[in-house]
């Protein structure tokens, strides 16, 4: 629930603090996976309840208890037991709460109101269904004690706000357009305004907007952030003032205090890169990004980012490093300051590489038509789109087509493996903590995109990296082009994914490089030394194989 549903709590105080809504979780149905966490000085045997795709989930109940104690009043969440409790929200006044339940296949989402009288009475305020999957969000806002509410939904193809009455019926659509609302930030019920973050002005950026809720003045959203780039906002509880954290691909974050109209009232943290700034020694070497679009097979625009190396000469031919993620709920190409991957991109470009990233179909912030092509077919359009990007790179006069490599982490590692197995011209691939078989990953994430394994056997076979290795006429041709990296205590993407790949590579006679980290979890951040070493190994291998400067 914490990672995949973005639900980081199992209890919720009522607004007047008189009651607590809580969950009771029974994980006994979940299969126990015995795995080994190998550390430098010991090996721990861990019996972990891991709900792999197609297997049993934990059972969750919702109850309410008074602050002073007493009997827990359990909510009847229906006869369908195999569901997800995704959200719980109190209504103003503390006399009612709502919960959102999602079917196991994640194609239906119900918003249910529970009135807390002598009896717990319920009614379904709304239900949404999809032919593919429903993305969760935190956009629900109850506006008054009567129960009118704002609902954030992709029912029209993009995430937009809808106003509903207390009975659940839609009153009107509040926002509309070929853009996405990322987050509902604040609602000023007194003035009838809602503040939100969206990409209405720039698909690669994020701005802050205000929209009137007055039906007599249904104006267009007004942008109140300035400076383009990427804005994160925190509003005061009563609205009006807000903190704006702004950055772009050339400027680290700065924090400003703004009023409701977006006027700057104070600079909280200028974060100017002066002589004392940690980035000052590297500022003169900072390289600009170029942004552009390519066309996918279905005509949709694929956004890319390119950083050319230091002292770039268009008459020379350079190696290219493709940084990929490729999975849903993520956007790699953004106009923001990224202290992890953005700075690593800068480092690689300064070593003589062209660094390239492309957001394939299936990635986030582009609407359902852009995201849905991955449904029941992971490892499909994502790989095709990344290959299209590489084919385009190979046509550029300043790119050496024989020196194109890729690296990725987690889903990006999965993408790196598919590209390695399916792109004969790829010179090198680094796969860190990769998924190899979706049947080994968890239920909520995997089944959202791939459906239940019993309902989609062809899709699971197609998406499995090992399937593609078995199809090769000459598997040994892949030798010497893969560096596999994985933590030996990874409890997210289990080490089993890599051992399955290792076993298959041995069976097929494929030579590859391997680095395992004792005590390493999914992020390989058990210590600063481990993180430095992992990134250093990625750079070392790519340098060895792609030979920048030649």
pLDDT value of residue 45: 96
In this structure, the number of other CB atoms found within 10 A of the CB of residue 274 comes to: 10
The answer to whether residue 238 scores a pLDDT higher than 80 is no
Residue 224: pLDDT above 90? Answer: yes
**Is the CB of residue 169 less than 8 Å from the CB of residue 151?**
no
Residue 410 a catalytic site member = yes
How far does CA 325 lie from the centroid of its chain?
A: 10
Q: Domain residues of the chain, as ranges?
A: 11-229, 290-546
User: What is the overall mean pLDDT for the chain?
Assistant: 97
- Is 249 noted as a catalytic residue in this protein? no
Mean per-residue pLDDT, 299-305: 99
Q: What is the pTM of this model?
A: 0.96
- State pLDDT tens for residues 408-435: 999 999 999 999 999 999 999 999 999 9
Nearest 5°: CA angle at 279, between 249 and 357? 30
Q: How far is the CA of 244 from the CAs of 77, 112, 259, 511, in angstroms?
A: 40, 34, 10, 50
Q: Is the predicted pLDDT of residue 225 greater than 80, yes or no?
A: yes
The top-level CATH class assigned to 290-546 is alpha beta
The pLDDT score that the predictor gives to residue 328 is 96
Strands 222-223 and 43-49: unpaired
Closest listed residue to residue 547, CA positions, set 341, 312, 321: 321
pLDDT range class, residue 215, cuts 50, 70, 90: confident
pLDDT of residue 3: 83
The tens digit of pLDDT for each residue in 358-386 reads 999 999 999 999 999 999 999 999 999 99
Active-site entry in 251, 286, 329, 522: 522
pLDDT computed for residue 268 by the predictor: 98
Is 28 tagged catalytic? no
Q: Is residue 255 classed as helix, strand or coil in its secondary structure?
A: strand
Given a contact cutoff of 8 angstroms between Cβ atoms, the answer to whether 361 and 300 are in contact is yes
Q: Cα–Cα distance between 111 and 100 in angstroms, integer?
A: 5
At residue 187 the predicted structure's pLDDT band, cuts being 50, 70 and 90, is: very high
pLDDT greater than 90 at residue 33: yes
Q: Taking a C-beta distance cutoff of 8 angstroms, is the pair 47, 23 a contact? A: no
Which pLDDT score, from 0 to 100, does residue 550 have?
84
For residue range 458-473, list pLDDT tens digits in order: 999 999 999 999 999 9
For residue range 91-129, what is the model confidence (pLDDT) as tens digits? 999 999 999 999 999 999 999 999 999 999 999 999 999
Q: Name the active-site residue from 416, 490, 497, 498.
A: 490
- pLDDT category of residue 227 using cuts at 50, 70 and 90: confident
Residue 240: what pLDDT?
81
The helix (H) or strand (E) run that includes residue 150 is: strand 149-153
Out of 357, 410, 463, 498, pick the active-site residue: 410
Residue 128 burial (C-beta neighbours within 10 Å; 0-12, 13-18, 19+) = middle
Contact call for residues 514 and 501 (beta carbons, < 8 A): no
Residue 366 CA to residue 179 CA, distance in Å, equals: 7
pLDDT over threshold 90, residue 451: yes
Residue 217 has pLDDT above 80, yes or no: no
What is residue 391's predicted lDDT score, i.e. its pLDDT? 99
Residue 78 pLDDT exceeds 90: yes
Determine which of 238-247, 311-320, 447-456 has the lowest per-residue pLDDT on average: 238-247
CATH class of 11-229: mainly beta
């Amino acid at each position: 629930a914490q990672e995949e549903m973005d639900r980081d709590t199992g209890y919720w105080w009522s607004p007047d603090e008189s009651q607590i809504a809580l969950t009771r979780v029974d994980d006994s149905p979940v299969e126990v996976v015995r795995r080994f966490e190998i550390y430098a000085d010991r090996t721990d045997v861990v019996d972990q309840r891991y709900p792999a795709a197609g297997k049993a989930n934990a059972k969750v109940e919702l109850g309410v208890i008074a602050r002073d104690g007493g009997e827990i009043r359990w909510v009847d969440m229906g006869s369908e037991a195999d569901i997800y409790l995704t959200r719980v929200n109190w209504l103003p006044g503390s006399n009612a709460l709502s919960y959102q339940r999602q079917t196991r296949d994640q194609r239906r989402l119900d918003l249910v109101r529970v009135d807390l009288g002598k009896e717990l009475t319920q009614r379904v305020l709304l239900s949404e269904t999809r032919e593919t999957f429903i993305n969760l969000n935190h956009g629900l806002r109850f506006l008054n004690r009567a129960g009118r509410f704002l609902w954030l939904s992709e029912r029209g193809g993009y995430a937009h706000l809808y106003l509903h009455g207390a009975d659940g019926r839609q009153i009107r659509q509040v926002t509309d357009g070929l853009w996405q609302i990322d987050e509902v930030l604040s609602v000023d019920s007194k003035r009838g305004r809602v503040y939100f973050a969206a990409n209405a002005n720039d698909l690669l950026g994020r701005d802050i907007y205000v929209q009137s809720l007055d039906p007599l003045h249904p104006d267009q959203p007004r942008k109140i952030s300035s400076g383009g780039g990427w804005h994160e906002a925190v509003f005061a509880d009563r609205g009006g003032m807000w903190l704006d954290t702004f950055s772009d691909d050339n400027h680290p974050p700065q924090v400003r205090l703004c009023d409701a109209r977006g006027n700057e009232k104070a600079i909280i943290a200028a974060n100017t890169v002066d002589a004392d700034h940690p980035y000052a020694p590297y500022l003169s070497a900072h390289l600009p990004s170029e942004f552009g679009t390519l066309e996918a097979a279905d005509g949709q625009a694929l956004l890319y980012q390119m950083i050319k190396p230091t002292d770039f000469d268009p008459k020379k031919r350079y190696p290219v490093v493709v940084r990929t993620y490729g999975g849903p709920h993520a956007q790699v190409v953004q106009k923001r300051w990224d202290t992890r991957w953005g700075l690593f991109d800068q480092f690689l470009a300064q070593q003589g590489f062209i660094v390239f990233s492309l957001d394939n179909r299936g990635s986030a912030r582009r609407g359902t038509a852009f995201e849905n092509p991955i449904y029941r077919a992971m490892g499909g359009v994502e790989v095709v789109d990344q290959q299209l990007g590489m084919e385009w790179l190979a046509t550029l006069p300043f790119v050496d087509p024989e020196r194109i490599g890729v690296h990725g982490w987690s889903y990006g590692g999965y993408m790196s493996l598919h590209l390695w197995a399916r792109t004969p011209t790829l010179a090198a691939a680094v796969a860190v903590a990769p998924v190899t078989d979706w049947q080994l990953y968890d239920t909520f994430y995997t089944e959202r995109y791939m459906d239940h394994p019993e309902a989609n056997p062809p899709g699971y076979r197609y998406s499995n990296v090992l399937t593609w290795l078995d199809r090769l006429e000459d598997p040994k041709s892949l030798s010497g082009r893969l560096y596999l990296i994985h933590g030996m205590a990874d409890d997210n993407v289990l080490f089993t994914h890599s051992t399955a790949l290792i076993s298959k590579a041995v069976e097929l006679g494929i030579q590859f490089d391997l680095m395992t980290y004792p005590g390493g979890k999914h992020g390989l951040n058990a210590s600063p030394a481990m993180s430095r070493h992992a990134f250093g190994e990625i750079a070392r291998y790519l340098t060895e194989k792609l030979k920048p400067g030649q």
